[in-house]
Amino acid sequence: MKHLLLAPLLVLTTHLWAQTPKAEDLGFRHIQTSYLGDTVDVLIKSKKGEENLRKPVFFFCQGSLPQPLIKYEDGYVYSVFPFSTDSLEKDYHIVIVGKPYVPLVMDAKKLGQNFIYQDFETGQMPAKYSERNFPAYYVERNIKVIRLLKKQAFVDPGKLVVAGHSEGSTIAAKLAAKSRAVTHLIYASGNPLGRIMTILAQYRASESDTDSTRYAESEFAYWEEVVSNKNTLNDTPGDTYKATYDFSIPPIYDLQQLKIPVLVCYGTQDSGSPFNDYARVEMIRQGKKNFTFRAYIGLEHNFFPVTETGRPDYSIFNWDTVANEWWKWTLEN
């Protein structure tokens, strides 16, 4: 699909009996609310036996693609989070919210490439999802979810950690800039200069010194088309013009106004790495002491090492290490 960033690699984790799994089967609480008339699915993961213990919320904004939160296949279920939640559960109730008009639970065999939920008749993303797939929708929806969570007896409202990966990092940054409830921000594998810069960087990396492989040049033409139609929710196999435009507004504008503790982490082999390095340089120039930068040397977008051929080595899984460092950072800051 054109102009879609990769979501985290998911792993099969739990063996199930011969039935469709429910959130409760996997140790989640499932809360449903509504936003602008849309059903919103909220999953809460807590340490077993401490579900009603008063703790702060760790709110995770997942990356791109309309994937169901719970995906199962042949008696197994894929992990809801790209990382183990064991360390974070010690001090937080961990929250994740589903994508609009995407089922909460679905058989992976009925999903498209990258576990994408598609319109079965057209083979494209559901129109109602595409019409809502832009930052402002997610930010306002998440603010409403946060207000609901703060009313729960098991939630300590004095601390709220918001973490976002990839596309979710943009949503998390904008959420932190708009909501005073957010006390800590984790900005992971994002591009502080916006999505279009990631697209251009990926195409530049594929170019060679020939006229036939100047891929990035065509992307400037695409960007001009996007800008001319920035509010258009066009029906395409990938992102709408509005999604591309809105996600391309540089999140650094939101990041630099924050006074709360911010952790920026990224792999140095990710296409967004130079832009995160730039953000680091800029925050130093501005004298901002509330930022912590963690560059994972030699790792890519999902924190896998990169081989000599330039491909991720999926045999070395670093997500749990990254999440454990998130947990430690939230306690130290």
CB of 237 closer than 8 Å to CB of 2: yes
| CB-based contact 40:141 (threshold 8 Å) | yes
pLDDT per residue as tens digits for the range 295-333 = 999 999 999 999 998 899 999 999 999 999 999 999 999
Q: Higher confidence at residue 42 or residue 217?
A: 42
In this predicted model, which residue has the larger pLDDT, 208 or 75? Answer: 75
What is the structure's pLDDT at 175? 98
Alpha-carbon gap, residue 104 to 67, rounded angstroms: 9
From 176-190, 220-234, 289-303, the region with the lowest mean pLDDT: 220-234
Helix axes 135-150, 167-178, angle to 10 degrees: 60
Distance CA(187)–CA(169), nearest Å, equals 5
- Parse the chain into domains and list their residue ranges: 12-332
Read off the pLDDT band of 11 (50, 70, 90). Answer: low
How much is the pLDDT for 97? 98
Q: Tokens 């894929």, residue?
A: 78
Q: How far is CA 32 from CA 43, 69, 90, 281, in A?
A: 9, 14, 25, 42
Confidence of residue 17 (pLDDT cuts 50, 70, 90): low
Residues 244-293: tens digit of each pLDDT:
999 999 999 999 999 999 999 999 999 999 999 999 999 999 999 999 99
For the domain covering 12-332, report its CATH number: 3.40.50.1820
Counting residues of the chain whose pLDDT is more than 90, the rounded percentage is: 80
pLDDT for res 119: 80
Least confident of 116-120, 238-242, 262-266: 116-120
State the Cα–Cα distance between residues 320 and 303, nearest whole angstrom: 10
pLDDT of residue 49: 97
Q: What is the pLDDT of residue 235?
A: 62
38-68 residue pLDDT tens? 999 999 999 999 999 999 999 999 999 999 9
**How many Å separate Cα 293 from the centre of its chain?**
18
pLDDT beyond 70 at 7: no
- What pLDDT is recorded for position 136? 98
Q: What is the pLDDT of residue 75?
A: 83
Q: What is the DSSP letter of 82?
A: S
Q: What is the pLDDT of residue 4?
A: 47
Cα dihedral value 195, 201, 206, 207, nearest 10: 120
